[in-house]
Structure 1
Amino acid sequence: MQPPLVHTSEDRLANFSSSTVLLVDDDLSTRAYLAHLLTHEGYRVVEAEEGEQALALYTQTQPQIVLLDALMPGMDGFECCQKLQALDADLPCLMITSLDDQASVDKAFAAGASDYITKPIHWPVMRQRIQHLLKARQNLLNLRQQAAREQALNSVVRAIRTSLELDEVFSVATREICQLLEADRVSISRYQPQQQDWRVISEYHIQADSYLGCSIPDSDNPIAQLLKQGKVVTLETVSKAKDWICIPSMARAYPGSWLLVPLYGSSESAESVPPTLWGSLCLQLKTARPGWLATSHDLILALADHLSIAIQQAELFQQIQELNHTLEEKVQARTAQLDRQVQELQRLDHLKNDFLSTVSHELRTPLSSIKMGIRLLSSALLPSNGIPKPPDAEKVARYLNVLDKECEREIKLVEDLLELQRLEVLFGSQQPHWLDLKEWLPQITDPFAELARSHNQLFSLECPPDLPPICTLPEILRAVLAELLQNAHKFTPTDQLISLSVHNHPDHLEIQILNTGVTIPPQEQERVFEKFYRVPNPDPWRQGGTGLGLALVQQRMVLLQGSIHLSSEAEHTCFTLRLPRVLSLSSKGKSA
C-alpha cells in the first residue's frame, strides 16, 4: 500500500482568490452587485447589512478583508472599522462611500481604514485595490512568520552553542518547533541498530499523552527504511496509511499529518558519505492539514541540520571526555605505580639497612664471644706476672667449646649468605636421585627429636607405610626440612608439639611441618619468605638469625620444582611442601 507521501521541496504561493471577504452595506442592490462580482472572481463572500452584524460575522468567519460602507443606520462604517481594528489590527478595511470631502477621508483613515474608494464603484479599480490589500496583508503575515521562524531557529542555535547536553538542546528544539508550526506533538527518536529499534528520547506535546521512552521497531517499518535512505517523509493523512505505522495507539492519537526528517551523527570514518544515521525528528498533527508544511520545509531542514550538528558536537565532546578520562586514569595509574616503586625502593632500602645491621650484629656477636674465649683461655694457660700456673682442664675445655660453637655460628652465617647467592644460579646443575622417604626421613628427624626433648618440646613423625619413592634432590630437600624444623624449634614454646607428616596424593607429595603454641599475624604471613625479612619481635636479638632462612627454603623449593605454603591461625603454624613425584631434568619437562 502506497501512502500519500509528499516530499516537499518548493514553497507554494498563497491564492488570494480563495480569501474570505466580509461585505458590509445597508444598500441591498450594492451588496448584491459587489457580491456577484467578488464571487465571480473566486472570493468567498460573507454579507452584513449593518455594523453590529458585521462584528458578529467577523468573529465567526475570520475574513481576510472587509469592504465597509461608511454611512449606515445604527453603527456607521467609521465606528465599525474602529472596532474591527481593535479585534485585528492587521485586518485590511476598504471604506466604500459617496463622501469625498477631506474630513470624511481623514475620519476614515483615522478609524483604521486601509484604503478609501468613492461611489459610484468602478470595478476594475476596486478589484486591483482588493488584491493589493490582500497581498500587503499576506506579505505582512509572511514577514512575521519569517521573524518567528528565525527566532525559533536562533533559540535552537543558541541552545546548541551554549550547551553540549543533548537533552537540553532537544528540549528547546521540540518546544520551539511545536509552537512555531502549531503542531500537536514534536519528538526526537534515537536509531539503535543493535537493538533494531528507534527509541523516543525527547518530545514536546500539547496534551498529556506521552510516548517518551517508547520503542519503535525497525523491521517491517516502511518509514524507517525511507529515513535510512536519507529521505524526508510527509504523510498527509495518517488515518489513510495505518499499515505504515508500527504503533497503532500513536496512529489513533495523531491521525492527521506527519513529517519525519532524518538526523545524522558523526561519520565513522573521514571517507564515510553520508554521515551515520543517528535518529529522526518527527512532527505530528491530530487533524489532517494538506500543505501544512509546504511553506516551512526549508525551516524544518535547517533545524534538522542544526540538530545534526549538535549531535556531532556532543559525540565529539563525549569522545574527548572519554579520552581525557582514559588519560587521567593512565596518569593516575602511572603515578600510583611510581609511588609503589618509590615505596618499594624505600622498603628495600630499609631492608638493606636492617640486613646490614643484622649481619653486622650476627658477625660481631660470634667474634666477640671468640675474642672473650681467647682472653679467658689465655688467662688460664699463660703465666701471670711471670709465674706459670697449672692449667685448669675443665675451664680450658669449656673455653674451647665456646670457641668451637661461635666459630661454627660464624661459618653458618657466611655459608647462608653464600648459599643465597649460589642458589640463584644453581638450577639445572644438580642431578636427582630416587629416595625412599620411609627410610630417609628418620635420619633427619631422630637427631632433631633428641634436641626437642632436651628443650621439653614434643615431636612426632607420621609417614604412611605404603609411601612410594620419589625422584628428587636429597641434599636440597634435607636442607629445606632441617631449616623448617630448626625454625619450628626456635619459636615453639615448652610442652608444645612439633610434627612432620607426609601425605600421598595421586599427582604429588605433601610434607607438612607443624608447630603449636605460636601464630604468625596475617599481615606478616605474606612476607615471611622475603629475603632479609624477619617477623617483628620486641627483642630482635633473642632468636638471632639474619632473615635468610625461609628465603633460602623458598629458593631451594624452586630447585625441587615444588612449592611451599604457610598457614597460621589459632596457635597452629604449618608449612606445607608440595613436591613432584619425579623431578624433571630441564624446564621443558623431561623426566629423570
Structure 2
Amino acid sequence: MANFLFDNFNIPQRDRSQTAIASKSRLDANLMQGSEYNLFEPALQAALQREQSLNWLLKMIHASLDPATIVTTAVCETAQLLAADQVLILQGLPSQAWQLIKSWAPVSEPEHQAIAEVLSSPDLAIAVERSQSIQLCGLEATEGFAVGPTYLLVPLTYQLAAWGVLVLMRVQGNRWRESEVQFLETVADQVAIALHQAEMHQQIQQINAQLEAEIQTRTAELQSALDCETLLKQITDRVRDSLDEHDILQTTVEALGQSLGLDCCDTVLYDAQRLTSVIDYEYTRPGIPSRQGQALPLGDRPEIYEQLWAGQTFAFCQIASSSIRNHSAILACPIVDGTKIFGDLWLFRPTQSTYSDLEIRLVKQVANQCAIAIRQAQLYQSAQGQVQALEALNGLKDDFLSTISHELRTPISNVKMAVEMMALILDQYPALAELTLDVHTTPLGQYLKIVQQECDHELHLVEDLLELQHLDAGTRPLALSQVNLADWLPHVLEDFEAQTQRKGQRLQIQVAETLTHFTTDAFGLSRILRELMTNACKYTPAGGQIRVKADWVDGYLQIEVSNSGAEISPDSLSSIFDKFYRVPNGDPWRHSGMGLGLALVKGLTEYLGGSIGVKSDRSSTCFTLRLPCGAIADFSMRDESFADR
C-alpha cells in the first residue's frame, strides 16, 4: 500500500494560482510512484522470504557436523521450499560411477525413475566437469511451460573439487526460474562446504581416536615395562640379600609365577655329568599337580637342551607327550654364569597363551641375577667351609699353646726355685766363702744370675701366652676392687724409677688430684701399665724422657704413656697390637721379644671395657688408655659378654 506524504506550507494570497498548479504536479508524481510500488511489492516480498528461508536453511545445514544429517536437511528442506517433486544428492566415485546419498520424494512417486533418468543423461558429467548448473526439460510449450519432468542439476563443489550433484525434479510445470537456480547454487555451495567440514571433523575425530589408542597402547607398554622393572628390582633385592641357594631359587619361581600369572614355574638343576635334571624348586597355581623332585632325562629332548646349553632363551608349545608338561605354552631360559650352567627356568601357560618381549627380557634378566646370586652363595659356602677349617686349626693352635705353656711353666718354675736355693746355700755355708766371696763378681755368682734372669724371662713369656689364651677364650676371671688412683698409680710405677735412672732416662709422672677411688681389675690394669712402661723404657734412648699422665677426660679415666725415641711408621701403627707382630727394621737396639706385650695390652684393655690407641711422630710415641668410669655391675656384664664370644 502506497504511502503519501503531505507538507503544510503558508502560501501568500497573490500566488495562490501558481501554488495550486505546483501542488497538483507533486500529487500526480506521488500517485505514479505508489502504483509502481504496488506492482513490485509481491516480488520484493518473495525475495525477502527467499532470503529468510535461505538463511534459515544454511543455519540448519551448518548446525551439524554429521554428513547424513547435513544431506537429509538439505534434501528435505529444499524440496519443501522450492516445491520440488523429487530431490536427490549423488556423490561421484573414483570409478566414474555415481552413488545415491540421499533422496526425497512423495510416497506416490517412485524414486528409481528420477535416478535412472538423471544417471542416463550426458549432461550430468558436463555439469560436474564445468561446475555449472544445467536444466533438463521436457517438451517446450509457450511462455516457459514444460511438458514432462524438468530437472535442475547443481554441482556440489568446494575449492574447484567436485564432490557430487544436487538434483531437483518437477514432474510437470514451469521451468526453473533464475532466482530458484541462484537459490539452489547458494545452497549447493554451502552444502559442499558443510560436507567438507563434516569430513574434516570426521578425519580429526579418527585421528584423535587413533592417537588416543596409540597413547593408551604406549601407556600400557610403559606401564608393563615399569612393572617388569619393579618386579626385577624386587627379585634382585631379595635374591642378593640371601646367601642360601634354596631361598634364592624358591623366591625366584614364586615371584615369577605370581607376578606373571603362570600356571607353573620350575627351576631345574643339572647333575655333574649333565645326564639328568631334577625339578628342585617349583611354583604351581592351585589345581595344578606338583612335579617337584621329578628327574627329567636329558636324552628325551636333545634339541631343547642343546639350545639351552648354548645359552639361548626360547618359547615353544609342547603338544606331543613327553616328560615335560604337555599342552602348554613354555618359555625356557638357562641360568648361566659365564660358561657354567647351573640349570634352567621353565615357565608354563595355557597353550593359546604367548610371552611378550618384555616378559622374555624380564625372565632372562632374572635368570642372570639368579646365576650371580647362586655363585655368590656357593662362594660364601666355600668361604664358610674354609673359615670353619681355619677356626678348627686355630683351636688346635690354641690348645697346643695352652698345653705347651702349662708344660713349660712347671719345669721353668722348678729351675727358678733350684737356682734361688743354690744361691741361698752358697750364702749360708762358710766353707764356700772362697767361692762366694762376691757372688756378683765371681764366675759362679754370674752364672747363677744369668740362669735366674733367663728363668724369669721364660716364665714371663709363658705367663703372657697363658694370659692371652684366657682372654681369647673368655675364661680369665675378673677380680674387681676399688683403688685410690692417686696413691695406687705411683706405687705401680715406682719399680721403673730405678730402671730409668740406670739407663739415664727421665721419668715424669702426672696424676690429677681429682683421681680418687676407681673400680677396676687392679691386677689387669697394673699389667697394662707395666707392659706400656716396659715398652717405653726399652725404646727410649739415654737422655730421653718418659711421661705418664692420668686424669678424668669426658667421664673416662685416661692414662697417657709417652716416650721420646724411635718413630713407628704409619704402616705399622695399624698392626702394632697384633699377636707376634714386630716392627720391621724399626728396632735400632735389636731388642728381643716375641711381640706379645702390646697384644696383651689390647686384650686386657678391651676385657676391662676400654680402648687403647697410639700416635707416633719423629719426636715421640704416645699410647692413650681410656677406661669407663662404670659401676661394678657394668664390669660384670662386660665380663659375661666377653666370655660369650
Relative contact order (alpha carbons < 8 A, sep ≥ 6): 1 or 2 greater? 1
